[in-house]
Amino acid sequence: MDKKKKNEKLEILRHSASHLLAHALMELYPNTILTLGPATKNGFFYDFLPENNLGESDLEKIAAKMLEIANRDLEITQQEITKKEALELYKDNPFKIELIEGIKDKTVGLSRQGDFYDLCKGGHVKSTGALKHFKLTNLSGAYWRADKKNQALQRINGVAFATAKELRLHENRVEEAKKYDHRRIGKQLDLFSFHEEGAGFPFFHPNGKKVLNILTSFLRKKLEKNGYQEIQTPIMLSDELWKRSGHYDHYKENMYFSTIDDKSYAIKPMNCPGSILTYKTRPHSFRELPLKFSEFGLVHRHELSGVLHGLFRVRAFTQDDAHIYCTPEQIEQEILNLVKNVETILSRFDFADVKLTLSTRPDDAMGDVKLWDKAEQALENALKKTNLPYCINEGDGAFYGPKIDFIIQDSMDREWQCSTIQLDFFQPENFDLTYVASGGEKKRPVMIHRVLYGSLERFFGILIEHYKGKFPFWLAPTQIKVLTITDNQNDYATKVGQILQEHGLRVIVDQSSEQISAKIKTAQLQQIPWMLILGAKEQENNTITLRPREGKQEFGLTVEQLLKKANLLLQDS
């Protein structure tokens, strides 16, 4: 079964599980007023108004009741009833009445299992017997229609899978993810912190900043090779610019504002307008195209405090942004270059899988339909040439152009979307961007926005969890720790450390008076890829014992042999 079909089946199962939860609630607490219960990413929830508030401790009883109903193996049937009948059925439930009144058709759907019924347009498993592999995860508060002004409700969340094995695998993954939460590892490895004085604004410590710098320089080298020119544009720009770019109208709620000389300014939530102003400073010949401006741009976006989540959801982050100005004819080649570029860079990070999705013209698209068709064709042609798996999300593109997203799969089988390539027909028009064509006439370029890591901060967070804190040699903030067995080796250790440092390696020499076993323990906790153990024998023979984080200890290495080994690991970084 392909993944899409499997996901559809799972969604049906999870949605059915929400009815099962509602059914159990009604049997246990007949005065509960039900509202809605959809499927979610890994499971389902149901929102309800309880007679008496439920607590976490009630979940066990509810789950047991659900299992009991599942074991009854009740057939789930679907019927259409008139709105009048539905209103009669739900005469004591103001939420369902509101839902029924909101339905445009003359009839409404009703699903039944045993003597339980629920308002629903259908799409269920055949019987409750298929719903045995679930778990209730937590109880939380909710509001009717997610609006704080409305009635406060309770919500029970759960996960559901088709088999016991899948449920167990999911639970293992959740446990693993908790164990390797980047916020926890960030503290352990002294990478970053958050402070009350700036909620959502990360502080990077020397170790964390080191990794960010490596990520940046790795990318910068690749960009230079691929003809990008790096620019830097201001963090604050006047309101007028954001009004013209459309951000003010569409994104104002997420922007921060300030005033300079009585004039209103906004802190940039995106880098595009800065790139556009740079492009417009002089005329461009067709010979210059494609013109590629890259920028590591710090953007600020307001997020509600409740959704802030370590480095995954912050209020300030650095986008590894680029804007490519090209002719419509160059789209295909540029997209192909970009996809290859992204793939090469992502391949350095040991992700299990990289997939692509192409999102095409939505209903509210702006611009010439012919240009859209041509561009979508060019994008698809480019994707075919890459030989990477991709799927098409019909109608899911932005109103100003189609886009390609990259989905990566980490070491814990979780999917992340980081890189995006977005075509834009709107801003070139909006900002009257032109280039001089071969005949001397002015023409409109196409703009391609692309991010690779996406947000450097978020990508760092993903890498921390993906590697479980064990950064590969090329990324580790400290690559090598030199450990002496006694104080007699201190001079030798300093010398070895110096040579390695001169060769660009990140080295710490541990000359503390701790026992060697304690020194090793510390280095292990710091997840240092290489420990060099130096004792009397090593000093005498001018050699090194290498104790790598993974794998076997190696004795009698010379410094040259060690450097050679290190260089192998550092190739292409």
How deeply is 327 buried, as exposed, middle or buried, from its count of CB atoms within 10 A (0-12, 13-18, 19+)?
middle
Write down the catalytic residue from 14, 23, 403, 506: 403
Q: What secondary structure does DSSP assign to 181-248, as a single string? A: -HHHHHHHTT-EE--GGGTT--EE-HHHHHHHHHHHHHHHHHHHHTT-EE----SEEEHHHHHHHTHH
Question: Which of 134/492 has CB closer to Zn ion?
Answer: 134
Q: Could you say whether residue 276 binds Zn ion (CB under 5 A)?
A: no
CA 311 to chain centre: 10
Write down the catalytic residue from 96, 292, 301, 506: 301
Site for Zn ion in 165-204 (CB under 5 A): none
Contact yes or no for 359/396 (Cβ under 8 A): yes
Contact yes or no for 374/360 (Cβ under 8 A): no
Task: Please report how close the Cβ of residue 78 comes to Zn ion at its closest, in angstroms.
Answer: 8
Question: Which of 161/325 has CB closer to Zn ion?
Answer: 325
- Residue 133's nearest CA partner among 67, 76, 74, 72 is 67
Q: Which residues pair with 141 in a beta bridge?
A: 154
Task: Please report how close the Cβ of residue 447 comes to Zn ion at its closest, in angstroms.
Answer: 8
Question: Which of 272/356 has CB closer to Zn ion?
Answer: 272
Task: Please report how close the Cβ of residue 111 comes to Zn ion at its closest, in angstroms.
Answer: 5
Task: Please report how close the Cβ of residue 555 comes to Zn ion at its closest, in angstroms.
Answer: 54
Radius of gyration of the chain (CA): 29
Q: What secondary structure does DSSP assign to 122-188, as a single string? A: ----SBGGG--SEEEEEEEEEEGGG-TTS-EEEEEEEEE-SSHHHHHHHHHHHHHHHHT-HHHHHHH
Task: Please report how close the Cβ of residue 19 comes to Zn ion at its closest, in angstroms.
Answer: 5
The span of 243-251, 360-368, 408-416, 448-456 binding Zn ion (CB under 5 A) equals: 448-456
In three-state form (DSSP H/G/I as H, E/B as E, the rest C), the secondary structure along 493-509 is HHHHHHHHHHCCCCEEE
Question: Which of 208/445 has CB closer to Zn ion?
Answer: 445
Selected from 272, 326, 533, 546, the binder of Zn ion by CB under 5 A is 272
Number of residues counted as binding Zn ion (CB under 5 A): 3
Angstrom CA distances, 542 to 492, 495, 496, 507, stand at 9, 11, 10, 18
Task: Please report how close the Cβ of residue 272 comes to Zn ion at its closest, in angstroms.
Answer: 3
Q: What secondary structure does DSSP assign to 343-378, as a single string? A: HHHHHTTT-SEEEEEEE---TT--S-HHHHHHHHHH
Ordered alpha helix ranges (H), 29-93: 59-71, 83-89
Task: Please report how close the Cβ of residue 348 comes to Zn ion at its closest, in angstroms.
Answer: 24
Question: Which of 301/449 has CB closer to Zn ion?
Answer: 449
Residue 319 falls in the annotated catalytic set: yes
The span of 47-55, 240-248, 441-449, 490-498 binding Zn ion (CB under 5 A) equals: 441-449
Q: Could you say whether residue 120 binds Zn ion (CB under 5 A)?
A: yes
Question: Which of 120/314 has CB closer to Zn ion?
Answer: 120
Angstrom CA distances, 304 to 311, 430, 435, 517, stand at 15, 31, 41, 47
Please state the φ and ψ torsions of residue 466, each to the nearest 5 degrees: -60, -45
Q: Could you say whether residue 365 binds Zn ion (CB under 5 A)?
A: no
Residues 359, 375: Cα–Cα separation, whole Å: 12
Question: Which of 128/545 has CB closer to Zn ion?
Answer: 128
Q: Could you say whether residue 23 binds Zn ion (CB under 5 A)?
A: no
Task: Please report how close the Cβ of residue 45 comes to Zn ion at its closest, in angstroms.
Answer: 13
Site for Zn ion in 372-431 (CB under 5 A): none
Residue 220 falls in the annotated catalytic set: no
**Residues 77-116 as x/- pattern, contact with Zn ion by CB under 5 A:** ----------------------------------------
Write down the catalytic residue from 124, 182, 292, 323: 323
Residue 348 falls in the annotated catalytic set: no
Structure tokens at 521: 């323990």
Question: Which of 11/85 has CB closer to Zn ion?
Answer: 11
Task: Please report how close the Cβ of residue 427 comes to Zn ion at its closest, in angstroms.
Answer: 8
Question: Which of 12/557 has CB closer to Zn ion?
Answer: 12
The span of 144-152, 221-229, 265-273, 372-380 binding Zn ion (CB under 5 A) equals: 265-273
Write down the catalytic residue from 15, 96, 449, 458: 449
Question: Which of 155/470 has CB closer to Zn ion?
Answer: 155
Q: Could you say whether residue 449 binds Zn ion (CB under 5 A)?
A: yes
Write down the catalytic residue from 320, 321, 405, 424: 321
| Cβ count near 228 (within 10 Å) | 20
Residue 449 falls in the annotated catalytic set: yes
Residues 427, 414: Cα–Cα separation, whole Å: 34
- Residue 469's nearest CA partner among 208, 170, 214 is 208
Tell how many helices (H) and how many strands (E) occur in the chain. Answer: 18, 27
Burial 64-102 (b: 16+ CB within 10 A, else e): ebbbebbeeebebeeeebeeeebbebbeebebbeebbee
Q: Is 70 left (phi over 0), alpha (psi -120 to 50) or beta?
A: alpha
Residues 74, 212: Cα–Cα separation, whole Å: 56
Task: Please report how close the Cβ of residue 74 comes to Zn ion at its closest, in angstroms.
Answer: 14
Task: Please report how close the Cβ of residue 128 comes to Zn ion at its closest, in angstroms.
Answer: 12
Write down the catalytic residue from 120, 292, 300, 319: 319
- HSE-up of 304 (CA within 13 Å, CB side)? 2
- HSE-up of 362 (CA within 13 Å, CB side)? 12
Question: Which of 231/533 has CB closer to Zn ion?
Answer: 231
Residue 301 falls in the annotated catalytic set: yes
Strands 507-510 and 480-484: parallel
Active site residues: 272, 301, 319, 321, 323, 403, 449
Residues binding Zn ion (CB under 5 A): 120, 272, 449
